[in-house]
Amino acid sequence: MRNLFRKPKKSVFKFITIIFAGLLLVFAANYYINYKYSLITDDFFSKFNSCDFTAAKDIITDDNIYLKLKKKTLNKDLNTYFSSVVKNLCDSVLDNEDSKSKALVVLNEIKSYNILNSSLNKVIISLDDTYIPESDSDYKAILDLALDNYDNGDFDIAINLLNKIPDSSKYYSDATNYIEKCITDYKDNLFKEADDLVKDDYYTKAINLLSNADTSIITEDDADINNKIDSIAEAKENYLASIGANDSQNSTLTSNKLLQSITSSNINTLNIESLTPYLIYVNLSEQMTYVYKGTMNKWDTIKSFTCSTGIDDEKTPTGIFDVRERGDWFFSDKYQQGGKYWVQFYGDYLFHSVPYNEDQSEVVDNTLGTPASHGCIRLKTNDAKWIYDNIEAGTKVIIN
């Protein structure tokens, strides 16, 4: 009986020894495989980082036994590595540290590994204006990129991308729907902004906003835009009429006040309104132009410019006007001189720079502080540019 019990003990010990040896062998083999895998991938990353793409691709071959054994790990590591490279490239392009062309070379090389797929396509398409889609996966990437721009409110970019999806693509229907959505949302945002301006009685500014709507998003003769402009123009007429009705009894007194000298001490006692947050006052006797910012009876002087107005035979008109059109240059054949940064306030009368010769290379008359113009209001070139850049159409202009 004792002998019978001894044999199994030796058998169990032998079995355990075999198992242990097998596990040790597996561990050693796995360690070696991982070691070889690390050497191979480290060499690949080094070559790729150095832009030695041919050598890098030669390292990642299908017949490499170690890579075959670690295929899932390799795909995961390549995904992580390539994602990091793409992010760094995008950041460098945004920071102007790298050119788009260089980035696209690297991105297209990454694309050849078929690891990142559509997410990579989206990045390439965003950087390459000449990219030619090759498959529906490309059109899916275009759609995704368009939706990113739509979410950011960049409707013009989104529409441009969506228009690249042909009717043969299965994403064409989605593209068409989102184009309509871009147009609708753009107009809704535009109308809301215009309504906010109208609430503050900035009718002219609201009309200008709508008149300058982005024609890459909507057509020039968009019926909704035109109807909205007409309704605001009508509201503006009613507003101006109501002001006239309310002030009818004191219209003469008000007009006389506005055509007297306006000073910093009395400007906020005259109930002066403007359709924009700005007001311009030109004092002919002082040959000064003053710019105010604020609202009725809350005006603050923000600029004062020495100017030159019309000579006796061609006087600058006095009265109450408003800013209208503008341009960066005009030239008069009659007077053989022109002006930079002109802003119209009445007919042919403008704010503009001191006069220049025809090729804009030389100032022909530097006179300021005394009448010297043919009726316009001359300013230093920088002062004229400030008005050109900042004063909106509809701004009230008072000259006396």
Q: Which of 182, 307, 352, 374 is catalytic?
A: 352
- Give me the helices (H) in 247-339, please: 251-258
DSSP per-residue string spanning 23-57: HHHHHHHHHHHHHHHHHHHHHHHHHHHTT-HHHHH
Annotation marks residue 374 as catalytic: no
Give the tokens for residue 53.
């793409």
* 378 φ, ψ (degrees, to nearest 5): -85, 145
**Strands 319-322 and 288-293: what pairing?**
unpaired
* C-beta of residue 259 within 8 angstroms of C-beta of residue 319: yes
**Buried-state track 273-296, b at ≥16 Cβ within 10 A, e below 16:** ebbbbbbbbbbbeebebbbbbbee
* C-beta of residue 392 within 8 angstroms of C-beta of residue 361: no
- Helix H or strand E segment including 305: strand 300-308
How far is the C-alpha of 205 from the C-alpha of 190, rounded, in Å?
12
Nearest to 398 by CA among 340, 342, 325, 323: 323
**Strands 377-379 and 349-353: what pairing?**
parallel
User: What are the beta bridge partners of residue 338?
Assistant: 331, 356
Name the burial class of residue 392, with classes exposed (0-12), middle (13-18) and buried (19+) by CB atoms within 10 angstroms of its CB: middle
* C-beta of residue 201 within 8 angstroms of C-beta of residue 239: yes
* C-beta of residue 355 within 8 angstroms of C-beta of residue 346: no
Q: Which of 182, 307, 374, 376 is catalytic?
A: 376
Whole-angstrom CA distances from 354 to 119, 302, 311 are: 56, 22, 15
Annotation marks residue 352 as catalytic: yes
Just list the catalytic residues.
Answer: 352, 376
